């Protein structure tokens, strides 16, 4: 695969822009068979094996990824929208190449796997893999999502039991049930859901006569939010991480 095509596939701009970066000496490639020092490549048509390739663009190290799978610790007061209305977009927390990765010939970048409200924090997945988005988001796949909920009023056993038994939301006569529900303290609840309706946690809590004061997503599938990933930070998901999502 030509180096300019590799850079294009990773979101570094059009093929012409990528060729320009290479010709200006702004791209270095790490040896594919060991060695730590990258060498500058100025020929945009130079062929490389893309899988496992490590390179440096304008002083920043990157690795080739056929598909992007990202975990982000979403901070409060951010919107999961490319065109936010009130607060900054979560996409501004990502480097430009992730926002510019091409899909089917168009620049679309990574997309959030489902949305979290502007005042909800925690684990957010982003990818350019449409099948992955569908698998993680579709209620038919029953991927559990675990939320830590801070409540306005004291929690009692009756509220927990109602959430487990099912509550009726105003737009759906079919009861919505929590897959798991555990009181962590008088004002804190751990709630597990396998579907993602609009404002579902807030509406379910309201249906049992309480109110959400703060909401944090701690886990999706078997993947927990890393303790060392600070709000606003992101990282690539490893193959082991992706396996956990299906666990």
> In the CATH hierarchy, which fold is given to the domain comprising 3-63?
3.10.290
In this predicted structure, what is the pLDDT of residue 197?
A: 85
State the pairing for strand pair 172-176/167-169: antiparallel
69-139+223-245 and 144-220 agree in CATH topology: yes
* pLDDT, tens only, 5-42: 999 999 999 999 999 999 999 999 999 876 689 999 99
Average pLDDT, the chain: 94
* Average pLDDT of the residues in 224-234: 98
For residue 139, name the pLDDT band (cuts at 50, 70, 90). confident
Q: Quick one: CATH architecture of 69-139+223-245?
A: 2-Layer Sandwich (3.30)
Whole-angstrom Cα Rg for the chain = 22
52 by Cβ neighbours in 10 Å (0-12 / 13-18 / 19+) ranks as exposed
* Average pLDDT of the residues in 69-89: 96
Q: Where are the domains of the chain?
A: 3-63, 69-139+223-245, 144-220
C-alpha to C-alpha distance for 147 and 191, rounded to whole angstroms = 5
In this predicted structure, what is the pLDDT of residue 247?
A: 64
Burial 128-146 (b: 16+ CB within 10 A, else e): bbeebbeebbeeeeebebb
- Calculate what percentage of the chain has a pLDDT beyond 70: 98
Spell out the CATH class of 144-220: alpha beta
pTM for the model stands at: 0.93
Q: Which residues are catalytic?
A: 117
Residue 244 has pLDDT above 90, yes or no: yes
* pLDDT, tens only, 156-178: 999 999 999 999 998 778 899 99
The angle formed by the CA atoms of residues 188, 191 and 194, to the nearest 5 degrees, is 165
In this predicted structure, what is the pLDDT of residue 35?
A: 67
Q: Which long-range contacts (CB under 8 A, 24 or more apart) does 75-78 make?
A: 75/121, 75/231, 75/232, 76/118, 76/119, 76/120, 76/121, 76/231, 77/118, 77/119, 78/118
Residue 105 has pLDDT above 60, yes or no: no
């Amino acid at each position: 695969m030509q180096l300019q095509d590799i850079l294009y596939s990773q979101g570094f701009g059009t093929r012409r822009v990528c060729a320009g970066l290479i010709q200006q000496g702004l791209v270095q490639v790490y040896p594919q068979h060991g060695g730590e020092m990258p060498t500058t490549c100025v020929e945009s048509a130079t062929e490389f094996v893309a899988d496992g390739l490590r390179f440096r663009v304008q002083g920043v190290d990157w690795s080739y990824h056929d598909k992007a799978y990202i975990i982000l610790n979403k901070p409060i007061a951010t919107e999961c929208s490319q065109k936010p209305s009130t607060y900054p977009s979560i996409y501004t927390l990502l480097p430009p190449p992730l926002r510019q990765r091409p899909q089917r010939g168009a620049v679309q970048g990574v997309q959030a796997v489902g949305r979290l409200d502007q005042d909800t924090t925690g684990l957010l997945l982003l990818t350019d893999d449409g099948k992955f988005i569908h698998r993680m988001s579709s209620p038919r796949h029953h991927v559990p999502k675990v939320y830590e909920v801070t409540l306005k009023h004291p929690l009692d056993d009756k509220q927990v039991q109602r959430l487990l038994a099912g509550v009726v939301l105003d737009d759906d006569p079919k009861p919505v049930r929590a897959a798991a529900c555990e009181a962590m303290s008088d004002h804190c609840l751990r709630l597990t859901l396998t579907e993602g309706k609009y404002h579902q946690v807030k509406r379910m809590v309201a249906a049992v006569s309480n109110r959400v004061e703060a909401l944090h997503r701690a886990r999706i599938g078997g993947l927990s939010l890393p303790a060392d990933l600070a709000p606003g930070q992101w990282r690539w998901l490893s193959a082991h991480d992706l396996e956990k999502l299906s666990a």
